[in-house]
Structure 1
Amino acid sequence: MRFSQSIAPALLFLSGVAQAASSWGFDEGRISVVAKKGGAGVKEKINARTPLSTPVSLGSTDTLKIALTAKDNGQGKRPHQAFLVLKEQDSGLEAPYPLTVKESGQAVVSISHKDLPVQLLHASKPLKASVVIGSFGSAKGLNAPVFDVKLETDPNVPLPAYEKPLRYGKKDEIHHIFKADPKSPPKVISLFFAAAVLATVPVLFVSWVFLGANINHLSKAIGAAPLSHVTFFGSIVAMEFVFFLYYTSWNLFQTLPVIGAVGLVTVLSGTKALGEVQSRRLAGER
Structure 2
Amino acid sequence: MVKVNTVLGSEAPALTVKIVQAASVNSKSAPVIENQDLKYAADGGFHVLDSLPKDIDVGKYEFFSSQSDIYATGGRTWVKIYFTGEIKVENAEISVLDNDLGNVESQKKLDLSTDSAISLSANHLQKLRLSFQLSSPLGNTFKPHQALLKLRHETNVEHVFVVGSSGKTFEFTLDFLGLVDKLYYLSGKYDLQLTVGDAVMENSFFRYLGHIDLDLPEAPEKATRPPLQPIDPLSRFGPKEEIAHIFRAPETRPPKELSLVFLGLTLVPLVGFFIGLLRLGVNFKKFPTATVSAAFAALFHVGIAAVLCLYVLFWLKLNLFTTLKYLSFLGVFLLFVGHRTLSNLAKVKAD
- Please classify the TM superposition score into its range, dividing by the shorter chain length: 0.3 to 0.5
Larger Rg: 2
User: Which structure features the higher share of helix residues?
Assistant: 1
